[in-house]
């Protein structure tokens, strides 16, 4: 089974800090994604990447950046954390051919900015 591992389950950071959320997948998937999940809003796409060093903005990229230096690792960066970035962050990966299961998700990082 594909595994998508997010480095932290819970994080508490202060306003203005630079925050790194790490995601690693172990099955050579081309595509990787970062979503945030908020009650009543479902999942909203922040950034995605379809290849090493490639990135595309999603629907809500403001305040975030990403890095993909290796195929298996996709990092989400909050340049200067703010309280409105308190949320659950989910990383996902997929094959370019999609297959029958779409994305495989990590277990999520619940970030609280105080």
Stretch that binds another protein, among 20-28, 63-71, 72-80, 88-96 (CB under 8 A): 88-96
Beta strands 4-6 and 19-25: pairing type? antiparallel
Check: CB of residue 32 under 8 Å from CB of residue 47: no
| 106 contacts another protein (rule: CB under 8 A) | yes
CB of 77 to another protein, least distance (A): 20
What distance in Å separates the CA atoms of residue 100 and residue 34, rounded to the nearest whole number?
Answer: 20
Cα 18 to chain centroid, rounded: 15
Which CB atom, from 17 or from 56, has the smaller least distance to another protein?
A: 56
Exposed / middle / buried, residue 102 (Cβ in 10 Å: 0-12, 13-18, 19+)? exposed
| 107 contacts another protein (rule: CB under 8 A) | yes
Out of 90, 93, 111, 113, which residue is the one contacting another protein (CB under 8 A)?
90
Site for another protein, rule CB under 8 A: 31, 33, 35, 40-45, 48, 50, 56, 58, 90, 94, 96, 98, 100-108
């Amino acid at each position: 089974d594909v595994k998508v591992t997010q480095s932290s389950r819970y994080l508490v950071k202060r306003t203005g800090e630079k925050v790194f959320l790490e995601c690693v997948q172990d099955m050579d998937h081309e595509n990787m994604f970062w979503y945030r999940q908020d009650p009543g809003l479902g999942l909203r796409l922040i950034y995605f990447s379809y290849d090493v060093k490639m990135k595309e903005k999603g629907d809500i990229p403001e305040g975030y950046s990403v890095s993909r230096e290796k195929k298996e690792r996709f990092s989400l960066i909050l340049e200067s954390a703010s309280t409105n970035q308190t949320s659950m962050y989910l990383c996902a990966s997929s094959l370019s051919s999609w297959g029958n299961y779409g994305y495989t998700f990590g277990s999520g990082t619940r970030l609280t900015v105080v």
